């Protein structure tokens, strides 16, 4: 894009790692979190997430240590990557990558964190959950009338262009409920806070949650307990990027992001305080 002058947001570059081991030091499980879209892979694939699990197990020698015990379990979760992917558009010649190279890089960073982990024989565990009802951005009467008129011009086939797709989506949206209910969660594992949001979350939202969380370390798992579409910040709605375009899969009100963020932070404060009572 010749008109691009800068990134629209600040990426979250943290690789967060939670490790569980037996009293004698045998790796049992590892949970990681990183904020980038999938790297791209064949149609049926765990993408870089699956390769990461294999790579980190190799790097920490977890498979060899299992012996007769149940096999080591690793999981990579998707952080706040609604506006972040593996392509660096700032570079004139972006670095080439695939899901193997992305997994290798993230596993290398995760191993560095893993080697510095301090283990505890006990940690408080708390969880809190809330249901949040949000409005849907429905088309108004004029928008709906125009959409129906346009859709009628290709009624005998599937939509082919972007305009056709979103006109059809406007018609379908008008027939759906005017609100959506989201399940939001917060989990405490010792001094770690984990937020769970059923949306594609912008990096700035994740970074703000980290800053405002009562925990010294916090990360967010997106697309957790659902898939309710992008939640751009209100200022991004004003810019009108494609993640703001209205469709069945992404249609929450413009104030969805601050409402979701406020609810998640409330839950994090609850689980933080619970372990101290």
Three-state SS letters, 146-184: HHHHHHHHHCCCCCCCHHHHHHHHHHHHCCCCCEEEEEE
Please say whether the beta carbons of 197 and 260 come within 8 A. Answer: yes
CA atoms lying within 13 Å on the CB side of residue 45: 14
At 75, list the tokens. Answer: 């999981």
Nearest to 102 by CA among 85, 83, 82: 85
Q: Where do the DSSP E strands lie in 42-123? A: 73-78
Helices (H) and strands (E) in the chain, counts: 8, 9
For residue 41, what pLDDT is reported?
A: 72
pLDDT tens for 104-159 read 999 999 999 999 999 999 999 999 999 999 999 999 999 999 999 999 999 999 99
Contact 224, 148 (CB under 8 A): no
Q: How is residue 247 written in tokens?
A: 């469709």
Radius of gyration of the chain (CA): 21
Query: What letter would DSSP give residue 223?
Result: S
Rounded Cα distance, 240 and 170, in Å: 16
Cα 16 to Cα 35, 47, 110, 224, distances in angstroms: 10, 19, 7, 17
Q: Do 125 and 274 contact (CB within 8 A), yes or no?
A: no
Domain locations in the chain as residue ranges: 15-114, 125-138+178-274
DSSP conformation letters of 5-43: -S-SS-----EEEEEEE-TT--EEEEEEEE--------S
Measured in degrees and rounded to the nearest 5, phi and psi for residue 259 equal: -70, -45
The DSSP letter of residue 197 is E
Instruction: Report the pLDDT value the prediction gives residue 96, as an integer from 0 to 100.
Output: 82
Give the pLDDT means over successive 10-residue stretches in the chain (277 positions).
75 96 95 92 85 96 84 96 80 79 94 96 96 98 98 96 98 97 98 98 97 98 97 93 94 98 99 83
Q: 22: Cβ–Cβ under 8 A, 6 or more apart, which residues?
A: 28, 69
Altogether, the residues listed in the chain come to a count of: 277
pLDDT of residue 277: 62
């Amino acid at each position: 894009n010749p008109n691009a002058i800068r990134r629209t947001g600040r990426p979250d570059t943290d690789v967060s790692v939670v490790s569980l081991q037996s009293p004698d030091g045998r790796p049992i499980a590892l949970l990681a979190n990183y904020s980038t879209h999938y790297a791209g892979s064949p149609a049926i694939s765990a993408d870089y997430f699956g390769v990461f699990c294999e790579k980190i197990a190799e790097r920490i020698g977890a498979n060899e240590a299992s012996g007769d015990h149940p096999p080591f379990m690793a999981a990579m979760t998707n952080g706040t990557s609604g506006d972040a992917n593996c392509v660096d558009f700032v570079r004139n010649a972006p670095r080439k990558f695939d899901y193997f190279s992305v997994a290798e890089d993230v596993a290398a960073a995760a191993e560095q964190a893993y080697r510095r982990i301090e283990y505890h024989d006990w940690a408080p565990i708390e969880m809190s959950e809330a249901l949040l009802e949000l409005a849907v951005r429905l088309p108004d009467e004029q928008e709906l009338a125009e959409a129906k008129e346009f859709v009628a011009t290709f009624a005998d086939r599937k939509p082919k262009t972007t305009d056709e797709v979103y006109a059809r989506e406007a018609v379908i949206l008008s027939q759906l409920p005017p609100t959506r209910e989201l399940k939001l969660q917060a989990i405490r594992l010792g001094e770690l806070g984990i937020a769970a949001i059923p949306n594609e979350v912008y990096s700035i939202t994740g970074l703000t949650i980290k800053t405002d969380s009562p925990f010294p370390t916090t990360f967010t798992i997106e697309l957790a307990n659902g898939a309710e579409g992008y939640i751009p910040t209100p200022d991004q709605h004003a810019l009108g990027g494609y993640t703001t375009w209205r469709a069945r899969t992404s249609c929450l009100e413009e104030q969805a992001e601050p409402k979701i963020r406020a609810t998640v932070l409330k839950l994090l404060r609850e689980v933080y305080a619970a372990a101290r009572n």
